[in-house]
Chain A
Amino acid sequence: MGEVLILIGCPQIPVQSPLVLYIADFLQDAGHRPVVAANPSAKQLIKTSDPKSHYVSEYKDVDKTIGELADGTVQYPLIISLIHNDAGLTYTSTTSAVAPKTLLISVLFGEHAYDLAEEIEYPTEKVVAPVTHNTRPLLTKLDEVLEWAVLKI
């Protein structure tokens, strides 16, 4: 059972936490172990929604995880990054640079989603919708990309 990393940023946009559980559920069904890299507040929101860890198998500190990827002490065949601000883009760009062999999916949401997507210069598959409260516009493309990604790893 392979591990897949879900990288998340600041939890201020409401769709982020449900997207994490949705992606984790998909990964579990596909036989993968979802690991979430987050800052403490984002992690706490997910843990509150999934107190018995039915969806997320493990949590890691986001900065420490990028350090481990840079050192080569951890590797993931697939990383799914949730982005809604410049900091999220910066973290994901760093992840791409330190883990160039990893298949990287960038899920962009929030009111600046299209602008952020245009700034991406690293290799990635993008799922983009400028939503804050409604996950639905993201889900069809997300399903399609996740199904493709788990077949590739």
Chain B
Amino acid sequence: MGCLENMNYEILGRNCSFKEAREIIRSNSTEKYEVPPGFKLLEKALIGVPPLIIGIANEKLIYAYTKPCHGTFVVVVEDPEGVDHVRRNGKPVQ
């Protein structure tokens, strides 16, 4: 576990609204899970408007990452522990 900056990640979308981010996650994921706001990834509470969707594709996590001055990004992160955590604790959705 650690900071996103220390992980291997790519950015799928930037300066999105949260709704746009949700659609990008849905359309790029093979598995989708709903989690509550405040769900922890990389030891940090996820920020988001419910329903909060986390996707998985190619064993990588796809989720929205919001910063106050930079809006919402959609990131693809290599985080095997996070993938396991989401599969165990998220609610599978279509």
Contacts and interface: CB of A to CB of B under 8 A. Distances in A.
Interface of A: 9-10, 12, 39, 41-42, 62-63, 66-67, 69-71, 85-91, 93-94, 97-98, 121
Given A94-B37, A94-B38, A97-B37, A66 B69 contact: no
B37 A98 contact: yes
A97 to B, nearest CB: 4
B47 A9 contact: no
A85 B71 contact: yes
SS class of chain A's interface: helix, strand, loop or mixed?
helix
A10 B38 contact: no
Contact of B47 (A10, A42, A91): A91
Interface string B68-84: 11111000000000000
Contact of A90 (B18, B44, B45): B18
A90 B48 contact: yes
B67 interface: yes
Contacts of A98: 36-38, 45
Interface residues of B, number: 20
The 7 closest A-B pairs by CB, nearest first: A70-B38, A10-B69, A67-B45, A97-B37, A94-B37, A98-B38, A93-B49
Nearest to A63: B44
A90 B50 CA distance: 9
A121 B37 CA distance: 14
Nearest to A88: B68
A8 to B, nearest CB: 8
B36 A97 contact: yes
A93 B52 CA distance: 11
Contacts of B89: none
B72 to A, nearest CB: 7
A89 B45 contact: no
A62 B44 CA distance: 12
Contacts of A87: 66-72
A93 B44 CA distance: 17
Contact of B69 (A39, A89, A93, A94): A39
